[in-house]
Chains A and B, each alone.
Chain A
Amino acid sequence: MAAAGETAAFLKSVKLFREFSDAELLAFAARLKERVFKKGQVLFREGDAGEEMFVVREGTTIISKLVSGRVEQVLARATGGDFFGEMTLFDRSPRSATIQAETDVTLLVLDRDNLNLLIEVNPRAAAAFFHSLVYVFIERLRASGELVAEITRWGLEATGLDMESR
């Protein structure tokens, strides 16, 4: 288990915490739990209930969504410094995708209680956290748009549909 100091040093490189001061990072790092998953292990499945978000400290996870039967579409990969699972934390809805470890991974876990505590105890740090979160959401929204366009292009190419001439 990494010490709070090491965790704080790592969090400094994470986009989500770039506006935190060193003291805020140290205090926040103490609230995070570390969890290790073996390669291939499913962290959670689409549709599961959830109370936590995760920051990848080491390794790679695959974020996928069920298409049919045993086939899932890979939406993205989360590597060191990336985070996932935050949507459930805010809207309490079931998990929107499945997360599986592509390699051995080490994650930092933030649960709803600790997030609420951050908001109460250190509103400035919480505001900085949400501010960074908005930036990441915008990036992801753009990436989703790109993915939709790519999938549409795939469909057109795979069926040979010539829409330009119609």
Chain B
Amino acid sequence: MTESAPRRAKLELLVRRDDDDRSFELREIGSAAAWVKMRPQRVAAEHFELAEVTSRVDRQRSFILKNRQTERFLMLSEPECFLWDRMDGRASVQDIATAYVLRYGTFDFDLIPGLIKKLQRAQLLTLTPASRLRYALSRHRERRLLRAAETAFTALERINVSSRRVQPFFHRLYRWGGLLLFTPGAIVACLLFAAVGTVAGVHLWREADVVAGFGANPVLAILSVKLLFFLTLAAHQLVHGLALIHYGRRVREFGFTFLHGFVPTFYVDITDIFMASRRARVVTAVSGTLVHLVFGAVWFMVALRASSGGFVQAFAAASGMLQWQAFVVALYPFCFVEMDGYHMLVDALGVPTLKHDAIAYVKSLFGGLPAMSGSRRQVGLWIGYIVLSVVSVAAFIAFNIWVIVHAVTT
């Protein structure tokens, strides 16, 4: 007689839409769906120790993980150690599983649940908030202001306008013209936009007094530039979604939320593209960022044609600059931010944990932690990533300061 697996618990929720009483949706949420969204958080770095041991027989690497508080030890295999490294409270179980597949090419469905159980038993996982800011706030709840800030962040974080039934919408969008974005003509158009935008930008730089246009309300002007830029992020995500349709994959979710409770952002779930070819992944990543190239070029052209020193010119020039910076930042992999360019780089290198490993390596060098070992190639990659990122971020900040100083003084 076979024993059937226990039924997973379900919650039935009634979610009201807008302020209309009659409009509601009934959702059954299985505990498994919630579990994959969980963000396992390992204990603080000072509370554990990790040592590598290599078998003299088969040269297999394994790791010993020690809980310094409870003096409990765990033996981890190399794949388990990879998973442990990613349990930083920011990556969900789903993200960790994706990283695992990218690294090892296969997936064992019992591995992550098994490891989480093992780590919980050894009290090496916590359920503290993932965001460091939120963590800091939660530690000072006795202060009214900080408690209010934490409550506000929690409330904002709950705002999530999203839909999982977006596949038909993206299909329609693709049929109604989205498919044109994935033709040779679109590439030519992008090149033309880049060329024309560059020419317009250079003209503006040399001739126009764009800062004067912000006039008496520079703060309001900058905020409106930012707001408009934020709306174009939705277009960026839409194009990512269209790329998935182009490659016959499924768009699992599209929505808006507040990341960590205070960063408003649109998002699209493109995890299904990992089942497609590398070319598909690259096109998906690049196509979204090209939105900023095109918008930036259009703004520069508008600025060039607007009356010199007027608000429209200043607004358009600032928007163009912001769009092109977004284009570069999104595609440039060395900036400590895991954006499209970073994902392409790690995909090409076959090292999905590059940033994480590089930071951990540098911390182990300067933070008095046990030295992290790696092959010469790995260490070269880690150092290269850190050096290039530090230089790039410094250059980006310096460039922006220079742009502002130049704009104000000329």
Which residues of B in the span 3-60 have a Cβ within 8 Å of any Cβ on A? 8-17, 21-24, 26, 31-32, 34-35, 38, 40
Task: Kindly state whether residue B303 has any CB partner on chain A within 8 Å.
Answer: no
B335 within 8 Å of A (CB atoms) = no
**Interface: B121 (CB within 8 A):** yes
**Chain A 52-72: CB-based contact to B (< 8 A → 1; otherwise 0):** 000000000010100111111
Tell me which residues across on chain B come within 8 A of A68, comparing CB atoms.
158
What interface size band does chain A fall in?
20 to 34
Dominant SS among interface residues on chain B: mixed
B17: A residues at CB distance < 8 A: 70
Query: Is A40 a contact of B23 with CB atoms below 8 Å?
Result: yes
Contact B32 A157 (CB under 8 A): yes
User: With A154-B31, A158-B38 in contact, is A40–B24 under 8 Å at CB?
Assistant: yes
* Residues 64-109 of A at the B interface (beta carbon under 8 Å): 64, 67-74, 100
Task: Judge whether A141 is part of the interface by a CB distance below 8 angstroms.
Answer: no
Question: Does A162 reach chain B (CB closer than 8 Å)?
Answer: yes
The residues of B that contact A72 with a CB separation of less than 8 Å are 13-16
Q: Which of A73, A153, A158 contacts B14 (CB 8 A)?
A: A73
**Chain A min CB distance to B14 (Å):** 4
CB atoms of A73 and B11 under 8 A apart: yes
For B120, B127, B158, the residue with the greatest tally of chain A CB atoms inside 10 Å of its CB is: B120
The proximity string for B residues 112-142 relative to A, scoring 1 for CB distances below 8 Å and 0 otherwise, is: 0100110011000001000000000000000
Given contacts A74-B26, A153-B9, contact A158 B120 (CB under 8 A): no
**Is A40 within 8 A of B22, CB to CB?**
yes
Q: Would you give the shortest CB distance from B217 to chain A, in whole angstroms?
A: 35
CA distance A157 to B125 in the complex (A): 16
Residues of A close to B23: CB separation below 8 A: 40
Q: Give Cα A69–Cα B32 distance, bound, in whole angstroms.
A: 23
Question: For the complex, what is the distance from the CA of A148 to the CA of B185, rounded to whole Å?
Answer: 60
Partner of A160, one of B13, B21, B117, B158: B117
Whether A62 pairs with B14 at a CB distance below 8 angstroms is yes
Residue of B nearest to A102 (CB): B26
Which listed residue, B15, B22, B35, B158, touches A157 by the CB 8 Å rule?
B35
Are A157 and B8 in contact, with the CB atoms below 8 A?
yes
Report the bound CA distance from A86 to B12 in whole Å: 24
**In the complex, what residues of A have CB within 8 A of residue B31's CB?**
153-158
Does A41 interact with chain B (Cβ within 8 Å)?
Answer: yes
Kindly state whether residue A42 has any CB partner on chain B within 8 Å: yes
| Residue in B11, B16, B38 whose beta carbon sits within 8 Å of that of A70 in the complex | B16
- Mask, B306-338, CB within 8 Å of A = 1, is 000000000000000000000000000000000
CA distance A40 to B23 in the complex (A): 7
Provide the bound-state CA to CA distance between A150 and B31, in Å: 10
Do A158 and B34 have beta carbons less than 8 Å apart? yes
- How long is the Cα–Cα vector from A69 to B15 in the complex, in angstroms? 9
> A142-166: which residues lie under 8 A (CB-CB) from chain B?
150-151, 153-162, 165-166
Contact residues of A with B, CB < 8 Å?
Answer: 39-42, 62, 64, 67-74, 100, 150-151, 153-162, 165-166
Chain B residues in the interface with A (C-beta under 8 A)? 8-17, 21-24, 26, 31-32, 34-35, 38, 40, 113, 116-117, 120-121, 127, 158
Q: Which 3 A-B pairs have the closest CB atoms?
A: A40-B22, A157-B31, A158-B34
In the complex, 8 of the A-B residue pairs with CB atoms within 8 angstroms, ordered by the A residue number, are A67-B13, A72-B16, A159-B35, A159-B38, A159-B127, A160-B38, A160-B117, A165-B121
